[in-house]
Structure formats: C-alpha cells, structure tokens
Structure 1
C-alpha cells in the first residue's frame, strides 16, 4: 500500500516494494532532469528495513546551489509533483505527489546539515537493530496517540531522532 490521506497518521508494515518504488521514481526523475546534476537519496522510514512507516516514499535531492531548486519545479510538476516552496521546512525546497500523498521530495543544497542528519539517522537505524526496534515501538505508540495530527506525531519523535543523530556522530 502506498499513499497517506490528508489528516491521517497510520503505519503499514515495511515492504521491499518501497525500495522498488523509490528506484522506479528515481529513474523517472533522473530522466526528466537529465541535464541537471543531482544526487538522490531514499530517506525516511520507508528507507529503513523492517520498520513500519507512513506509506509515503521520502526522497532527498541534493543540488549544487539552493537557488537552483527553482530550475527543477517545472520538470517535477510534469511528473505530478506539487511545489510547496521553501517556507514549510528549513533550508529545503519541498514537493509532494498524489492525493493521497505517495511521494515527497526534500531538495537540499549539497552538504546541508539537515540532509546529513537524514542520512546519518537512516544509516544508523539500518545498522543498529536495538535502536531500530526502539524506534518501531515509539512510532507504533505515537501513531495511535496522534492518528489525526501529523505535526504532533513528528514533533513527538524529535527527541529520539536527535539522540540517534548524536550517537551516529559519536560513532562516525
């Protein structure tokens, strides 16, 4: 299952299909933006093997200069993405696709600290079974508590996420 209706928070069990969906979408985006130099990353819980997640594929696109993000809007809109500007999330251009929402793009300038933290978090959880299980349990609890409030759900995970990023930085 892929897609999260507005105003809902629920988790579905992890599936290999999320990786396949990311790869399929990455190829479409790379073909559309072929003349522009980008790196793409699968981020968010769908990129962490074995973790239940909201059924949305999160992708990070790494660009050379932040202002160049505007050059990508038309091409991504042709692929069905809606551009929501730079004011929703710090230091990123934000796009989403579908209703219910199936994909999100977070476009960062290369070496952006938020991008680095996303990748550190993903990689740490993919390599640490205990932390991965703790995150799974936290997400299950929070998705029940905040099943109609995605902002409260995300905010309630913040302390855990910051602790994992700290551990990853100490380890790295």
Structure 2
C-alpha cells in the first residue's frame, strides 16, 4: 500500500466535528490507556476551511513503546499502518470507508504535536488566514493537482510560513 492517493477538496462541513467526536470516543475506548491526548487537527478542525474530507487525528504518546499496543488495536479497527510515511517521528495510519480518517501518532508535546496544535489554534483565531490557506489549496487543485503527495509538496512552503506566523502569535498569547 502506498501513501499516495487521489484527493479532492470540499467546503467546510459542520459534521466533520461530529465525525471526529465519534471516532475519538472509539479511540479512547480502544487505545486511551496508552495515550496522553487525542486531538482533532488539520483543516477539518477549523470552522469555515476548505479541506480534503478526511478527519486528521493527532494521538500523543509519552512513550514510543506504547505504539506496540496501539498499532494492533488500530489495525483491528480497520486502519492501515503506513509507518512513518516520510515524516520521522510520526506513525501514520489511515482508514477509508464511508468516512475517512488519518491517525498520526507522535510524541506528546514534541515538535510535531506542538506545531500542529499551534497551526490549528492560529487558524481558528484568524479567519482571514484560514481563508487565505483555503484559497491556496483550491488554487493548487484547480491547477490540476489530484494526488496527496503532490498536493502536500505544493502547499508546503505556505504551511512553513503559516507555522512561523503561528509561533509568533502563540508566543504573544502566552506572554500576556
């Protein structure tokens, strides 16, 4: 199985939060004892954003040995284990069906965890930035990009700039 897959974008759907909530309850039941936190992140977690209709779930662990318990439980739930999938320090699993989910297992409060949470909070607090990001994603797809890896590559520079702005904002918020 390859990480690359066909993608498309959809306007914000208020049901995305419900889909996360339902999957979150199942994840807590199945892997809760091995996790420090489970969060909804990515564009489906930001009201108003255009997104791939895939719920991204961040699973934070204190100890990487817990992944030995988590991975078999997730695969039993229908998730495909794709390993690090090009991002060291992250284990990536996905489930496709009536609804689509990605689980990203990372070190709780490590860089990957923190960066994703900071971006989410920044976009939730800055609707103009969320719309700007949505527009960039729509433009990438309108120019013919239809696969995950190419889509991710084409928006990477913007995401890096977004993270830099989000870090400055978060530092200002925390110093208040």
- TM-score, normalization: structure 1? 0.89
Task: Write the distance in 2 (CA, Å) between the matches of 1:125 and 1:25.
Answer: 23
Runs of 4+ in 1 over 4 A off after TM superposition: none
Task: Write the distance in 1 (CA, Å) between the matches of 2:57 and 2:159.
Answer: 18
Give unmatched runs, 5+ long, in structure 2: 171-176
Structure 2 equivalent of residue 3 of structure 1: none
Contact 2:35 2:59 in 1 (8 A): no
Give unmatched runs, 5+ long, in structure 1: 1-5
Q: Secondary structure at the match of 2:94?
A: strand
Match of 2:81 among 74, 80, 83: 83
Matches within 5 A, 1:119-138: 119-138=117-136
Q: Does 1:18 align with 2:16?
A: yes
How many residues align structurally?
167
Task: Write the distance in 2 (CA, Å) between the matches of 1:23 and 1:83.
Answer: 22
1:112-142 CA distance string (max 9 Å, x none): 2112111111111111121111111101101
Q: Does 1:170 align with 2:168?
A: yes
1:103 Cα offset (Å) = 0.5
1:69 Cα offset (Å) = 1.3
Worse-matched range after superposition: 125-134 or 143-152: 143-152
1:149 Cα offset (Å) = 2.5
RMSD: 1.8
Q: Secondary structure at the match of 1:60?
A: strand
Q: Does 1:55 align with 2:53?
A: yes
